[in-house]
């Protein structure tokens, strides 16, 4: 159409301007970054000192002492209620905590120095005992390293001997954090305060969040994920509170007028970052499970109102799903979940005591959005998957945190689909992770999924690893591998992997080795490590270009900044189908151009590559094939798999952004939406068009753009009208998502039907503002 092509030229010009300025920004950042890092000394992993006078470690603990267990006593002095005493103006609250710990360890190499981690703690009274001979070894000095290592260095008068067992006792005190780190305070209101300064309704609780390097701020410890140990924990807390820990309670008794002592069973052998406890007045809701006692703790008011019920209903089912999926039982007798008023991140998988932000766990019938159940289900499924991937089997070092997070994300697709099949959210989750990863990984500043250990040393560098590459690319790459080797073979491999590495640590090569074992046993030929190396150890992903007239295909590193030089290439599994043939798998295993029969359109049929988008790459075609696919989408979209209907739009827009296709093609890829009812293609189009809308805001093109969008959305808006006009929502979640999208697009682009509906609802609510049920209903769609 003429109008479209007029828009397209302007769009193309704007693209060039925007892309050039973005590229200039990225280049400046890279130059600055390179200048910055060239002045820094790299911090290589320390080697064992060969004698007791060897070089001191730099950032990582030496492996000459291996912890086996800890006895930890902790006494947070916090009150859960402020009790104002007559004539005392300041309340009685205190943020102090005290404690002591004894770590039992084996010496594997002679040394007279003990290095462990301690941060923001005042440590005193060190006692080192040779457990084999029951002899005290005198300590000469205790020194904190005032740098990023957070080392506590303990010099001894005599050396520790190899193959002997020792213990180190330390007393310590510290402050409960008010910044959601380490051991921290959180607060909430119980009931309604009588007046502004009424503190009677205020309640406090103590909670922990250690990942990645904050256990050292609660007790001195060997705070690295590989240095696993068993923890014997005792919490001394105010008598009117309850303490929860990683393991079940062994006993609890009042030890003083004001204090209670709660002792826990030993934890499984685990990493320090999984250590957790809470002290609160919370109450619980049970979940059914034949073997594990599952409880969901929350504020007493929320428990009484049943807000934890939805979480409790699905938790036992999710746990059972994983137990049968992995063929390994959850390895503790209890599993607590707790909804904290404050927590950063959204949730943390501490073994046996999973913490959540309240909003991620609580559901209020009639008030919470129906779609909020998805958020709760996906969060619980993610954290429970960690009980195996992360807690039972842990990455050796933080550079491979994707082994935890990628798996938890990937497994949660299946768990949610199992417990809430009616949500039909699997495709939505996959598409969302795919988009997130695609977006981040198309920047020249992206990073490999699995960088070198040496590049991830300081706490800051470790925290930076918790990004969308780790979570989303991690999950998508696992999904691709499962598709290559077959999901059944993949699952067999990970079962063996989990079992053989239980209570241990792994590197990604261990995973490849076990999937390979399953492939070999099944008679497959995929070389897992060789293929996967290109996806996990290289930055980015490719775009595959297919010419269907002669069957030529080649790959190229996909970058928004197309002028970036890259010689990277990947082992690319391509599932390909046409409108006359079923899907088959073809490999592109070279950096050059090759010709393959499967990609030739012999009698004018369309060819579709990356069927179901199981591969982590984009696809470009010759113009004729694009047109054939777009025509198919307009005439009978269901011939093209749903994932591809969304992805064709996403690819077209992103290829245009990288200047690999004309922007007209991107806009044309939305032609079929006039008749499309499914959520994924719409979500993809709306997300991509948002970029255009933002660009044209306040320009003369904004008007034509709105007309274009109104035209596209009218059909679907009318489809949902029977629900929207009556403040109702459709049955399935995918339609609910789509109804929200469609109302948003329709009203923000001035579709008259939508504007009338919104005005009518608002007027109705204004006239009857004591009863805002209708507004609530609009909100919950
Ligand atoms: Zn996680």
Give the pLDDT mean for 648-674. Answer: 92
Distance of alpha carbon 108 from alpha carbon 552, whole angstroms = 59
Give the distance (Å) from ligand 1 centre to CA of residue 658: 32
Give the distance (Å) from ligand 1 centre to CA of residue 404: 7
Q: What is the pLDDT of residues 456-508, one digit of tens each?
A: 999 999 999 999 999 999 999 999 999 999 999 999 999 999 999 999 999 99
Instruction: Put the strands of the sheet holding 259-264 in their side by side order.
Output: 135-137, 122-130, 165-175, 96-107, 65-76, 230-238, 259-264, 249-254
Q: Please give the pLDDT value at position 732.
A: 83
Please check whether residue 207 is in contact with residue 340, taking contact to mean a CB–CB distance below 8 angstroms: yes
Please check whether residue 591 is in contact with residue 630, taking contact to mean a CB–CB distance below 8 angstroms: no
Distance of alpha carbon 600 from alpha carbon 229, whole angstroms = 59
Q: Please give the pLDDT value at position 366.
A: 85
* Residues 353/358/361/365 CA torsion (nearest 10 deg): 150
Distance of alpha carbon 587 from alpha carbon 360, whole angstroms = 42
Give the distance (Å) from ligand 1 centre to CA of residue 516: 26
Give the distance (Å) from ligand 1 centre to CA of residue 237: 30
Give the distance (Å) from ligand 1 centre to CA of residue 5: 46
What string of DSSP letters covers 404-450?
HHHHHHHHHHHHHHHH-GGG--HHHHHHHHHHHHHHHHTSTT---SS
What string of DSSP letters covers 177-244?
BSSSSEEEEEEEESS--SSTT--TTEEEEEEEE-TTT-GGGTS-B--STTS-BEEEEEEEEETTSEEE
Please check whether residue 634 is in contact with residue 672, taking contact to mean a CB–CB distance below 8 angstroms: yes
Distance of alpha carbon 722 from alpha carbon 731, whole angstroms = 13
Distance of alpha carbon 406 from alpha carbon 478, whole angstroms = 7
Give the distance (Å) from ligand 1 centre to CA of residue 410: 11
Give the pLDDT mean for 145-151. Answer: 94
Give the distance (Å) from ligand 1 centre to CA of residue 236: 30
Give the distance (Å) from ligand 1 centre to CA of residue 632: 40
Give the distance (Å) from ligand 1 centre to CA of residue 1: 48
Q: Please give the pLDDT value at position 491.
A: 98
Q: Please give the pLDDT value at position 160.
A: 98
In terms of pLDDT, which residue wins out, 87 or 288? 288
Give the pLDDT mean for 758-766. Answer: 88
Mean pLDDT for all residues in the chain: 89
The closest alpha carbon to 352, from 251, 279, 247, belongs to: 247
Give the distance (Å) from ligand 1 centre to CA of residue 481: 20
Question: Is it the case that residue 28 has pLDDT exceeding 70?
Answer: no
Question: Is it the case that residue 236 has pLDDT exceeding 90?
Answer: yes
Question: Is it the case that residue 271 has pLDDT exceeding 80?
Answer: yes
Give the distance (Å) from ligand 1 centre to CA of residue 472: 11
Distance of alpha carbon 666 from alpha carbon 362, whole angstroms = 41
Q: Please give the pLDDT value at position 89.
A: 55
- Looking at the annotation, which residues are catalytic? 383
Give pairs for 300-306: CB < 8 Å, separation 24+.
Answer: 300/190, 301/190, 301/191, 302/339, 302/358, 302/362, 305/364, 306/365
Give the pLDDT mean for 368-396. Answer: 96
Give the distance (Å) from ligand 1 centre to CA of residue 499: 20
CB neighbours (10 Å) of residue 614?
21
Give the distance (Å) from ligand 1 centre to CA of residue 383: 6
Q: Distances from the Cα of 198 to the Cαs of 194, 195, 203, 732, in angstroms?
A: 6, 5, 12, 46
Distance of alpha carbon 264 from alpha carbon 88, whole angstroms = 37
Question: Is it the case that residue 675 has pLDDT exceeding 90?
Answer: no
Give the distance (Å) from ligand 1 centre to CA of residue 781: 28
- Residues paired with 75 in a beta bridge: 98
Tokens 């979570």 belong to 471
* Residues 48/50/54/58 CA torsion (nearest 10 deg): -10
Lowest mean pLDDT of 47-51, 271-275, 460-464, name the range.
47-51
The closest alpha carbon to 310, from 208, 378, 408, belongs to: 378
Q: What is the pLDDT of residues 678-704, one digit of tens each?
A: 999 999 999 998 877 777 777 887 888
CB neighbours (10 Å) of residue 256?
9
Give the pLDDT mean for 345-352. Answer: 97
Give the distance (Å) from ligand 1 centre to CA of residue 405: 5
Give the distance (Å) from ligand 1 centre to CA of residue 742: 32
Q: What is the pLDDT of residues 440-460, one digit of tens each?
A: 999 999 999 999 999 999 999
Q: Would you place residue 771 in the very low, low, confident or very high pLDDT band (cuts 50, 70, 90)? A: low
Q: Please give the pLDDT value at position 87.
A: 54
Give the distance (Å) from ligand 1 centre to CA of residue 476: 15
Tokens matching residue 53: 């006078």
Pairing outcome for strands 230-238 and 65-76: parallel
CB neighbours (10 Å) of residue 565?
7
Q: Residue 91 region, left (φ>0) first, then alpha (ψ -120 to 50), else beta?
A: beta
Please check whether residue 285 is in contact with residue 303, taking contact to mean a CB–CB distance below 8 angstroms: yes
Distance of alpha carbon 201 from alpha carbon 699, whole angstroms = 53
Q: Please give the pLDDT value at position 36.
A: 38
Q: Please give the pLDDT value at position 238.
A: 94
Please check whether residue 210 is in contact with residue 273, taking contact to mean a CB–CB distance below 8 angstroms: yes
Q: Model-level pTM? A: 0.89
Count of residues for the chain? 781
Cα atoms found within 13 Å of the Cα of residue 390, Cβ hemisphere only: 27
Supply the DSSP symbol for 540. S
Give the distance (Å) from ligand 1 centre to CA of residue 379: 9
Give the pLDDT mean for 381-410. Answer: 98
User: pLDDT > 90: what percent of the chain?
Assistant: 75
Give the pLDDT mean for 426-451. Answer: 94
Give the distance (Å) from ligand 1 centre to CA of residue 389: 9
Give the pLDDT mean for 390-394. Answer: 98
Q: What is the pLDDT of residues 84-141, one digit of tens each?
A: 665 555 567 889 999 999 999 999 999 999 999 999 999 999 999 999 999 999 999 9
Give the distance (Å) from ligand 1 centre to CA of residue 299: 24
Angle at 589 between CA 586 and CA 591, to 5 degrees: 130
Give the distance (Å) from ligand 1 centre to CA of residue 117: 24
Distance of alpha carbon 683 from alpha carbon 685, whole angstroms = 6
Distance of alpha carbon 460 from alpha carbon 443, whole angstroms = 21
How much is the CA Rg of the chain, to the nearest whole Å?
29
Q: Would you place residue 52 in the very low, low, confident or very high pLDDT band (cuts 50, 70, 90)? A: very low
């Amino acid at each position: 159409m003429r109008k479209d092509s007029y828009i397209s030229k302007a769009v193309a010009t704007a693209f060039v301007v925007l892309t050039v300025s973005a590229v200039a920004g990225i280049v400046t950042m890279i130059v600055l970054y390179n200048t910055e890092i060239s002045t820094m000394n790299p911090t290589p992993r320390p080697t064992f000192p060969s004698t007791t006078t060897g070089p001191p470690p730099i950032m990582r603990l030496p492996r000459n002492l291996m912890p086996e267990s800890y006895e930890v006593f902790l006494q947070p002095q916090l009150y859960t209620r402020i009790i104002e005493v007559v004539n005392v103006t300041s309340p009685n609250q205190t943020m102090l905590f005290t404690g002591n710990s004894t770590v039992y360890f084996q010496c594997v190499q002679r040394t007279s120095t003990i290095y462990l981690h301690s941060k923001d703690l005042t440590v005193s009274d060190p006692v080192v005992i040779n457990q084999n001979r029951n002899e005290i070894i005198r300590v000469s000095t205790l020194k904190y390293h005032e740098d990023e290592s957070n080392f506590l260095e303990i010099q001894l008068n005599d050396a520790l001997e190899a193959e002997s067992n020792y213990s180190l006792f330390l007393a310590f005190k510290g402050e409960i954090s008010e910044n959601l780190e380490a051991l921290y305070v959180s607060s909430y209101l119980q009931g309604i305060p009588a007046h502004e300064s009424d503190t009677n309704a205020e309640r406090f609780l103590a909670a922990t969040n250690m990942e990645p390097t904050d256990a050292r701020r609660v007790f001195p410890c060997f705070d690295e994920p590989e240095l696993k140990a068993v923890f014997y924990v005792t919490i001394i807390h105010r008598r009117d509170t309850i303490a929860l820990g990683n393991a079940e309670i062994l006993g609890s008794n009042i030890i003083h007028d004001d204090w209670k002592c709660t002792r826990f069973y030993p934890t499984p052998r685990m990493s320090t970052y999984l250590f957790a406890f809470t002290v609160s007045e919370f109450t619980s809701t049970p979940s059914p499970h034949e073997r594990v006692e599952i409880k969901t703790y929350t504020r007493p008011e929320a428990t009484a109102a049943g807000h934890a019920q939805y979480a409790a209903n699905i938790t036992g089912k999710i746990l059972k799903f994983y137990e049968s999926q992995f063929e390994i039982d959850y390895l503790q007798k209890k599993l607590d979940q707790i909804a904290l008023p404050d927590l950063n991140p959204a949730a943390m998988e501490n073994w046996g005591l999973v913490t959540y932000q309240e909003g991620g766990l609580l559901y209020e019938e009639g008030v919470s959005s129906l779609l909020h159940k998805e958020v709760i289900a996906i969060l619980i499924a993610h954290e429970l998957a960690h009980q195996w991937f992360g807690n039972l089997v842990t990455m050796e070092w933080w550079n491979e945190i994707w082994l935890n997070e990628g798996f938890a994300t990937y497994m949660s697709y299946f768990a949610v689909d199992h417990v809430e099949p009616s949500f039909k959210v699997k495709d939505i989750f996959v598409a969302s992770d795919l988009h997130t990863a695609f977006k981040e990984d198309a920047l020249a500043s992206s990073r490999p999924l699995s960088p070198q250990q040496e590049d991830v040393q300081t706490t800051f560098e470790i925290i930076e690893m918790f990004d969308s590459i780790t979570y989303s690319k991690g999950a998508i790459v696992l999904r691709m591998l499962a598709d290559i080797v077959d999901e059944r073979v993949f699952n067999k491999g990970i079962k063996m992997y989990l079992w053989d590495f239980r209570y241990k640590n792994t590197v990604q090569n261990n995973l490849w080795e076990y999937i390979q074992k399953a492939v070999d046993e099944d008679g497959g030929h995929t070389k897992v490590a060789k293929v996967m190396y290109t996806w996990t150890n290289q930055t980015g992903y490719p775009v595959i270009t297919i010419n269907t007239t002669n069957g030529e295909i080649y790959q190229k590193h996909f970058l928004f900044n197309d002028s970036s030089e890259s010689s990277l290439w990947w082992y690319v599994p391509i599932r390909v189908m046409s409108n006359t043939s079923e899907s088959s798998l073809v490999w592109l295993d070279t950096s050059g151009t090759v010709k393959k029969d499967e990609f030739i359109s012999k009698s004018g049929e369309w060819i579709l590559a990356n069927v179901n988008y199981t591969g982590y790459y984009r696809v470009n075609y010759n113009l004729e094939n694009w047109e054939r696919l777009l025509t198919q989408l307009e005439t009978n979209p269901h011939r093209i798999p749903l994932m591809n209907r969304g992805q064709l739009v996403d690819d077209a827009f992103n290829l245009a952004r990288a200047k690999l296709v004309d922007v007209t093609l991107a806009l044309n890829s939305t032609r079929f939406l006039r008749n499309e009812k499914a959520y994924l293609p719409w979500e993809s189009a709306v997300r991509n068009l948002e970029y255009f809308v933002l660009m044209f805001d306040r320009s003369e093109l904004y008007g034509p753009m709105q007309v274009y969008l109104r035209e596209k959305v009218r059909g679907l808006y009318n489809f949902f009208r029977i629900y929207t006009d009556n403040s109702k929502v459709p049955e399935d979640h995918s339609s609910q998502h789509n109804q929200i999208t469609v109302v948003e697009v329709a009203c923000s682009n001035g579709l008259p039907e939508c504007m009338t509906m919104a005005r009518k609802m608002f007027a109705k609510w204004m006239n009857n503002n004591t009863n805002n049920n209708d507004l609530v209903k609009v909100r919950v769609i």
